[in-house]
Structure 1
Amino acid sequence: MMLRIRSRDGLERIQVDGPQITIFQLKTLIESQLQIPIQNQTLSTDQNLLLAKTLADLLRFSDMTDPSIPLSALNLSHGSIIFLYYHGERTVRGGPTVSPAGSFGRKMTMDDLIAKQTRITRQESPHCDSVSFDRDSANAFQRFVNETLAFASKRGGFMYGTVTEEGRVEVDFIYEPPQQGLEDDLVLLRDPEEEKLVDAIAAGLGRKRVGFIFTQTIMQEKKDYNFSNKEIIQAAELHAESELKEWVTVVVKLEANEDGAADVHFEAFQMSDMCVKLFKDG
């Protein structure tokens, strides 16, 4: 059985024997698989755990404090999300030692060497031809980010709409899941049951999830990149999860115009097939 563990580091997966294991056994598996000591772990099915700031805040999350309770008593099953708060820093194990090739190691032919290489090539044509937005949906998303958040913290959401036979994506509305936005990071506190409900409502309207939209903060404008490494990984993860080849990623940011005033810009991108494959391969 697979469980998803959401922490400040993002979403990770662990393998367990089944819903009959206890919370203590789960913590032991987290320690062995994610290298987080048991004594540093606080677990809960409540996503607000990740917003805790003090010890008093942590004590409010008591649903998984009894080490003898089995996971089945909490209605946890394959694919369920558990939220993890931990103190300190993680100690991540190094990868396996690789024997060097050459005089003192294993011999390699040129064919062996080429077979182990991953060649990064440019994708000549995208699967999505273009993206269009419902004006009201796009305006509602950017207005909150601009007027309330002042582009000081990140915000994201899933886009729903249709894909035409020509590969054109048309976005009709945006669903913004619970989240914690920082200056340079965006943590989606996803609720599988709520997302199933949103998907069902969208399907009833003849719509489906077609992409991910997020904002960049004004501080990111000082960096020399279009996407940070965290943004690429998150975009590739969501693209891979969707299994929709036309899936698009849209970034919203504030840019100065020729008159010195600030304009909100929507820019659409698509992760290449190779980028998504590299993410899937780890």
Structure 2
Amino acid sequence: MLIRVRTRDGSERVTVPNPNTTTISDLKTLISTQLQIPVPNQTLSTNQNLLLAKAPSNLLQFSDMSNPQTLISSLNIFHGSMIFLSYQGERSIPNAPRVTPAGSFGKKMTMDDLIARQMRITRQESPHCDSISFDRDAANQFQHYINETLAFALKRGGFMYGTVESDARVTVNFIYEPPQQGTEENLLLFRDPDEEKLVEAIALGLGMRRVGFIFTQTVGQNKRDYTLSNAEILQSAELHAQSGIKEWVTAVVKLEVNEDGGADVHFEAFQMSDMCVRLYKEGWFETHISGDVDPKLSRMKKDVVIGVKDKREVDNDFFLVVVKILDHQGPLSTTFPVENRITPVTMRALKNHLDRTKNLSFVKRISDFHLLLLLARYLDVNADVPALAVCVQLQTAVPEGYQLLIESLADAS
């Protein structure tokens, strides 16, 4: 069987001849033989955070694959599984071809040749943000719809809003889902400038901003050998480039098989590397993806240097920087219906929500981003919307005039 091994150099494969009897010790020997990484230099784990460890002492916390006698089958490692490998020292990439430097033997170099030889693709070791923390309810509201309604058969996406702290920690407190159409492989966002203006006004009043992009992968994609597809890399790089903030995070939600053979919803978080964003901004990516291109590879318009070779196809993993995931209980509720889903959100939903929450203070009753977005369609975006959002942020009493207006809108449904 084949096991995928992700290192700082990208994703590689190791062939395991006898998976049922292979121990951790055997696996390390196979890695040494096939990937040319000495056994004493290896630290293995099923935890992707291993690749974030910056000091040798930090490696000690990743002990799930430290016992050399443990069978890999007991760790639910099977054909196609991904494990993570941190190693000390340098290595020679297996099967790396020898190349003749451009310009040798009298060959003249063009300006494109010179630029391409300076565009060296290396793996970025650390993200610009320390971590990303999801509001538990907001994350659950997003994944629950994908799981229960779409059954992870169609892609879905949204923009994450929250804060970037002074220590580079990113917090996500709500997710806005724009109009969109998802298929098994692709996600098309129908950006609505008028609606997004309302979203930004609410976020401003709440003291928050757009901090990232979140999307799902389908069960069909999970059978493919990539972390992000080339189409997902393009979309993520575009949104990261547009964001204007270095801490921007891209999050992926997917189903993964657990040790009992069932399926668990799993979140992963990345930053597009600085090189990836630069390449996108400078127009290096081929944006038309033909069917003959392996989805785990991104195609360039010109040669780039990877290791010692000039190439036009780059393993997508080179562009991904793993971000640590945390969670928290945020300031907003998530009980109101979400915009732009199969069932339209109407004022009847507002009426039902207000009736259901009569025992709460009025500011608590409207402390839901999706509710505020519905109200914003009927209010002044420059005055009313920020004023209501500030009340929610500070949890101060909502002025009586606004209460009467909101209740009258609900009663008119």
Is TM-score (shorter-chain normalized) higher than 0.5?
Answer: yes
CA distance in 2, matches of 1:130, 1:160: 15
Is residue 141 of structure 2 the alignment partner of residue 143 of structure 1? Answer: no
Structure 1: gaps spanning 5 or more residues: 1-100
Instruction: Find the counterpart in structure 2 of residue 279 from structure 1.
Output: 280
- Structure with more contact order per residue of length (Cα contacts < 8 Å, sep ≥ 6): 2
Matched residue SS, 2:167: coil
| Match of residue 207 from structure 1 | 208
Structure 1 residue 136: deviation in Å? Answer: 0.8
Q: Report percent identity of matched pairs.
A: 71
Name the SS for the 1:252 alignment partner.
Answer: strand
Q: Give the Cα–Cα distance (whole angstroms) in 1 for the partners of residues 108 and 157 of structure 2.
A: 49
SS in 1 for 2:175: strand
**Corresponding residue SS for 1:218:** coil
Question: Which residue in the other structure is 2:116 paired with?
Answer: 116
Aligned to 2:192: 191
TM-score (norm: length of structure 1) = 0.61
Whether the 8 Å contact between 1:216 and 1:253 is mirrored in structure 2 is yes
**Whole-Å Cα distance in 1 between the matches of residues 108 and 219 of structure 2?**
52
Q: 1:116 to 1:225 in 2, by over 3 A?
A: closer
Tell me what 2:218 maps to: 217
**8 A Cα contact 1:235 1:249, kept in partner:** yes
Instruction: Give the distance between the partners of 1:103 and 1:152, measured in 2 at CA.
Output: 54
Alpha-carbon deviation of 1:121? 1.6
In the TM superposition, what are the counterparts of 1:130-169 in structure 2 within 5 Å? 130-169=131-170
Whether the 8 Å CA contact 1:102–1:108 is kept in 2: the answer is no
Helix, strand or coil: the match of 1:270? Answer: strand
CA gap of 1:188–1:112, structure 2 versus 1, over 3 A, is closer
Shift in Å, 1:124: 2.6
RMSD, aligned CA: 2.2
Q: What whole-Å deviation, never above 9, does each CA across 1:116-161 have from its counterpart, x for those lacking one? A: 3210122232101111111110010000000000000000000000
Cα distance in 2, alignment partners of residues 141 and 113 from structure 1? 46
Secondary structure of the residue aligned to 2:140 is helix
Quick check: 1:255 aligned with 2:256? Answer: yes
Equivalent pairs, count: 181
Return the alpha-carbon distance in structure 2 between the equivalents of residues 152 and 108 of structure 1: 49
1:230 aligns with 2:231: yes
What's 1:76 paired with? Answer: none
TM-score, reference length from structure 2: 0.42
Question: 1:81 matched to which residue of 2?
Answer: none
**CA drift at 1:113:** 4.3
| AA matched with 1:176 | E
Per-residue CA distance 1:215-257 (angstroms, 9 max, x = gap):
0000011100000000000000000000110000000000110
| Bigger mean CA offset, 256-265 vs 120-129 | 120-129
1:32 maps to which residue? none
In 1, the alpha carbon distance for the partners of 2:114 and 2:281 equals 21
Say if 1:143 and 1:120 are closer, same or farther in 2 by CA, change over 3 A: same
Aligned ranges for residues 20-99 of structure 1 at < 5 Å? none
Q: Which shows bigger deviation, 204-213 or 118-127?
A: 118-127
1:35 paired residue number: none
Q: Distance in 1 between matches of 2:112 and 2:203?
A: 49
Give the 3-state SS of the residue equivalent to 2:220 in structure 1: helix
- d(CA) in 2 for partners of 1:208 and 1:233? 23
**Pair 258,112 (structure 1): closer, same or farther in 2 beyond 3 Å:** closer
Unmatched 5+ stretches in structure 2: 1-102, 284-413
